[in-house]
Structures are given as C-alpha cells and as structure tokens.
Amino acid sequence: MEETIKEKPVNRFFRAVGEALKNKTFHYILKRVLTSLLTLILIVAVVTALIRLLPDTKFYDVKEYKTISQKMGRAAADNYMNRTLFLAGRKDIHGNDVSVLHSIFEYIYWVLPIPKTIPTKWNSNYTQVLESATFFCYFGRSQNLAGRPFVTDLLTSRMGISFTISIICTILTYIFSVPLGIAMAKKPGGPVDKAGNVFIVLNWAIPGLVFYLLMNSIMGRVDGIFGWGHFGFFYEDGKWWTLVPPIFCVVFLGIPGLAIWVRRYMVDELSSDYVKFARSKGLSENTIMYKHVFRNAVIPLIRGLPATFIGAIIGSYYIEYIWTIPGTGVLLIQGLQGSSPDVQLVQGLTVIYAALSMLSFLLGDIVTVFFDPRIKLQSD
C-alpha cells in the first residue's frame, strides 16, 4: 500500500490562492473594488478643484484685514491673511500660492490608508511645528468649530447617536412594512390592498418637514395627548424616551416606500410560471407565498440593506436639527454656515460620504451575486 504524502501547509495555501484567483466572483469583486477606488480618487480631485474656485476673500475676514492694516501696517495684515489662507490649504507656510494640482495630490496622499505624520500644532507665527501626529487616513480639521477638532474625531464622536437612531428606524420600518406589503400582495384589489393603498397615498401626501414639526409640537407638549410620555421637544442625553418622537416620525414616513416595493415584487412573482406550476401541484397559498414567492421577492430588498446600514452613519439633518440631536447629519450644514466655509470639514465629509455611498453600492452588488441564484458571472 502506497504511503499517502500529506500536502504541506504552504503548498495548500498557494493552491487555495490560485483557485481563488481563477474564481469569477473574485474577479468581479476585484474589478468593482478597483473601479470604486478610481472613482473615489476622481471625486477627491473634483471636490478639491471646485473648492479652489472660491475666491480667497471667502476664507478670511476682509474687514479684519483692513483694520489690522490701518492699526499695524500692511505687513501685519498680509501676515494675518497668509496665516488664514495657509490653514485653508491655499498657501504654503511661506505665503506662496499653492497650485490646484498640488492641493489635489496632497489631499489624495492624506486620505490614502497608510500611516503618515501630519503637523497638528504650530507656533504663533506658523514658522515652527510644535506637535505632530500619525494618522492612517487624514481628512483635515475643522476651522470654524470650537477647538478645531479633527474631522475623523467629529464623526466618531457623533456617529453613535445617528447610527443608533437609523438602525432602530430601519429595523422597525422593515417589521411593519414587509407584513403590510405581503398582506396587500395576497389579494391585489382586495380590502387589505385598498386600505394599504389609501394609507400609502395619504402618507406620501404629507410633507416630511411639516410632519416632523407637527409631531414635535404634539408629542412634546406636557399637557397634550402624549404628555404622559414626557417626550419633550428636544433630545436629552441619558433620556432614551426623548428619541421616541423622531424615531416614530422616520418609521411612519418610511413604511409606505418599503411596503409598496414588497407588494410590487410579490405581485410580479405571483404571475410567474413556477407559481402556476406550484398551484397545479396542489401546494397551499401560504406555502407558495412564503416559501417560494417571498424568497425571490426579498432579493431586491436585501440588495438595499448595505446602503441602508451605511447610510445610517450619515444621519438625518431635519431630524437632528429639529430635536437638537448631536449627530452627524448636521455637520455638513454647519460647515457651510457662517461668513466663510469650513473647507476641511466640508471637503472631508464630502469625500467620506462619497466613499460610503460607493461602498454601499459595492456591497449591494456583492450581496446580490451571492443571494440571487439567477445571476451567473461569465467571462467577457
């Protein structure tokens, strides 16, 4: 009997890698990742170039410049202007103009996921670096917010509340919407379908902002019908019940959109040939509905889940503004407010949101490939 020779772990590893490289799904994922990275680099270049189109006077106070010039001379005023424009990335440390290409390549280097040392503190004349820090990805720091926090620190400190609210809203929306859509699809044109359509039409007729303000007023009143809940007009840290009104608003307005899609997908599937074949075999309607139809109809909904979860990080501007929730949804608006834009904050958030959007599309496509057996990847 011949002795079986065991394959060495190293050889087994390289064989597994070789098989993976031949896999069509792996090729598709790699292609989509590389395309997303190139798109993100293009977005960084376009955003940086658009910001550079803004005039320099948007980044420093002209009145302050004139006041300093009258009191301390032109040199002091120019020093103030150059220092401000240096913080905005429009001039170098010596007061020389920075080209658009230099700004683009510098920012691409900042956002690359590699360790890099960035100066974080200078002396009063900005002639000497006092402190530096190592960053994996650097998106700059806010110029207008108190303490000039780093953009990444702002996101990590605020995304928790936004993510919590959005995930709770997503789960509750699916809990209420999917059964409603299924019930409407069982008998199109029936009583449940008609009642559901009336609810959807009336819900869509309500402007979102008006509904938010109305619910804030109704549910926040102590002497109103919701006074027993003590929800309050604003969110208070440590009081979870103050999040009930905004969560209720998001879920209530989100039910129609998801329910109508569930109904549509299931009605389309009910007219398929395999459903007719299943009925001819004597399968019950519930078995057909839940074991076959729903499994196929839920695939488009699964595809949208990555976008939903990743979009939860961004938060909702109206919800956070009305209920004064310190989340990420108001950051971009805060960066655009005031006499001068918060360049680093706006630029950083734009790139981060673009990256999250592309990641959601990428994950959605990958999820579809794995969950939909009808999709077959073929070589070109």
At 155, which helix (H) or strand (E)? helix 151-186
Q: What is the 3-state secondary structure (H, E, C) of 292-357?
A: HHHHHHCHHHHHCHHHHHHHHHHCCHHHHHHCCCCCCCCHHHHHHCCCCCCHHHHHHHHHHHHHHH
Token pair in block for residue 255: 């039910």
Tell me the pLDDT of the chain (380 aa) as tens digits.
444 455 566 666 666 666 656 667 777 778 888 888 888 889 888 888 888 888 888 777 788 888 888 888 888 888 888 878 877 778 877 778 888 888 888 888 888 888 888 887 777 666 677 788 888 888 888 877 877 888 888 888 888 888 888 888 888 988 998 889 888 888 888 898 899 999 999 988 888 888 988 888 888 887 777 777 788 888 888 888 889 999 999 899 888 888 888 888 888 877 777 877 887 887 777 777 777 777 777 777 777 777 676 666 676 778 888 898 888 888 878 887 766 778 888 888 888 888 888 888 777 777 776 666 565 555 44
Token pair in block for residue 272: 């398929």
CA dihedral 93, 94, 96, 100 (to 10 degrees): -20
The SS3 call for residue 203 is: helix
DSSP line for 171-202: HHHHHHHHHHHHHHHHSTTSHHHHHHHHHHHH
At 18, which helix (H) or strand (E)? helix 9-21
Do 136 and 114 touch, CB atoms closer than 8 A?
yes
The SS3 call for residue 30 is: helix
From CA 380, how far away is CA 374, in angstroms rounded? Answer: 18
Token pair in block for residue 120: 């974080």
What does pTM read for this prediction? 0.74
